[in-house]
Structure 1
Amino acid sequence: MTDTAGPTDTPTDPGAGTDAAGVLRPPAEQAFADELAALERLDDRPRPPKWRLSPWAVTTYLLGGTLSDGTVVTPKYVGARRLVEVAVASLATDRALLLLGVPGTAKTWVGEHLAAAVSGSSRLVVQGTAGTAEESIRYGWNYARLLADGPSRDALVPSPVMRAMQAGRLVRVEELTRIPADVQDALITILSEKTLPVPELDTEVQAVQGFNVIATANNRDKGVNDLSSALKRRFTTVVLPLPATLSEEADIVRRRVASLGAALRLPADLEHLAEVERVVTVFRELRSGVTADQRTSLKSPSATLSTAEAISVMTNGLALAAHFGDGRVGADDVAAGLVSAVVKDPVQDRIVWQEYLETVVKDRREWSDLYRACRDLDPA
């Protein structure tokens, strides 16, 4: 997609100009190109420097709505509007944004769509792992040129962060707390001084307007590589919660499963996804440790049982129904995915699951088919 608000895509922008046809999951700026173009065309509000859309339009892109010309913008995130407004407002200042939450609360999804709406590109990404090196944050070297010619600009290999600084774009840092603490600290000067020193060349890279950082972190990783207080101070932290109600979570799952089913060309009846509410109910009850009517206390498994996992269970069920059934998702189609999602520890989680089946699922008459399907998978 052509970037009409920010800098023109260059060869250092991976995937620039590629055709989305046939791609399993195109980046947000390609998948929702029509919506972004409509918002850009109708957006008459003030835009921060280098932003493709105004903060209002970015928020509308995330939360959905109907534009003045009748264009329907689909919601990318279902949740409190104020959370999104705080996140967008932070990016419009010089403070970086940290999206925090348990697994499956759409942190990466929100970060990708924010980058697509603000910068026109979501593909400047640092993927945090235990093996992420400082070069991923700062810069590396082409060692063949380095050995041949010594330190030079041609030998320098810019990181996604450096490229974002030079182009005035957003860069995403995924799973920040998975990155070793000493590598995390390479962000401090970048975020506070908006510069990246290159002492080998006796120079520095200065960030141009439009540059900022969106980081994500899993709050279940607390204690893995905690952020230093100096780094925390440079972020506005927005906690993305799990959906507040059953209907809200079921709606999210239904929307995503329908979208994935269409993308994967699964020939199933997407109008009949009655199993969604049951799967979401199971997840919410086991997650909270109590049944929906608050009458029965439950043990919780080690699994996160996030909304993202519910989407995976339903998508797998959709595939089973499409290829091995009548196209209508039923209890037999979701049972295997449900058991797989809950039972991560073959000993402790299996006990939790069996107790839930016998004390809750079995007693719900309308769930008798689900009980039988799950018991058939593990009749012991």
Structure 2
Amino acid sequence: MMLRIEKAVYGGAGLAHQAEGEGTGRAVFVPFTLPGELVEASATESKAGIINAELVQVIEASSDRVKPKCAHFGECGGCHYQHANYKAQLEIKMEILRETLERAGLVKLPEVEVHAGEPWHYRNRIRLRVAKVDGVLRVGYLRRGSNDFLPIEMCPIAAPILWRAAEALLELAETSDAARWMEKITEVEFFTTQDESALQMTVFTQHRVAGFDAFCERLQELLPELVGAGASMLHAEGSRRAERPRVIASWGAEGLSYAVAGEKYWVSRGGFFQVNRFLVDDLVRMVTSGRQGALAWDLYAGVGLFSRALKTSFGEVVAVEAAADDLIKTFKGDGRRAVAATTVEFLRGAVVQRERPELVVMDPPRAGVGAEVCTLLGRVAAKEIVYVSCDPVTLARDLKALVDFGYQIKELHMVDMFPQTFHQETVVVLDCP
């Protein structure tokens, strides 16, 4: 098919419409294309009036097209926009955000403010597959659109120390005393601080192996920044039944102290933390700066990234998190309350008690907050809500519900926490007149 790409859509593809032949007018989605380009594409799947296609060649290229920085771009499933210059990436994401919100019925939106940082080497965490290829141990990701292993030789969106850690692990595999551990590892995760001064590692295996301490000490000789490591089993021994990873060994520190905006946060090994090491400070300031009052709620609080900053200007901060082990240990003292509960459970109780905070901050997972949380927040009628979202589709759904309950959208920020990919972070400020 010859196609003229009309626009980029959420998910990384370009949208065109079939201009001739059977099925004229059907929507066609082509990855690795840019708005305005004339391309040749080949259909790979057709269903419900939609065609998914693969790019064959670019006939008329956009002026925004650039050479990808990574040798694996296109094969690897991790990045989607390396073929576009960074300014174009930001414009694409901003337009997708605005269109997604408008499609949900949200009108009179404020101007989208764009916040960006360094577009390379930003990730503080990566998780790699480990497998033998032609008898040689390699690390890698999955091939795009499949579960096939893709061995890699670089990852330019990762902090340099993370790739250096992967190389050290492979170097260790060549020594006989570490071979028995390396032979059993199927995946490995590395997590580092903003300044790359400390590193945590988690290895995943399907079998128990002795000598984990000696293995980690050997790795630390090659990688002095390594301060702690753990081993988790992906499957039950003697069974093919998948289970949640189970910790079977630990060495060194159990986590990292991560500095953000003048505060230090303890992040346990494997715990969630914002992935962009260059923009976390800006994100915290965007959410918390200039806000004050008697009571603030931080829902889906995680390790308390926003809670700690809010305490400087609120009399009481309540941090709510279902998996609250780290939060309970670190967020305590006068005016600080950590609650181990889901957001729905907490809000149900708060509505009964008729509590009304000046500020509600919420940073939910990709699924968003959902209908019941929106309904409960409608009853709470907080003076201000700051909604941090990593998915514009679920954000649009939730914002429409909150607006219907009387909230008004006051500020709209697109924060590019995931350069080179279609993912984006959004910060929305709402008030309740």
| Same structural fold, with TM-score higher than 0.5 when normalized by the shorter chain | no
TM-score (norm 1): 0.30
Q: Which has the higher helix share?
A: 1
TM-score (norm 2): 0.27
Structure number with higher relative contact order (C-alpha < 8 Å, ≥ 6 residues apart): 1
Q: Which has the higher strand share?
A: 2
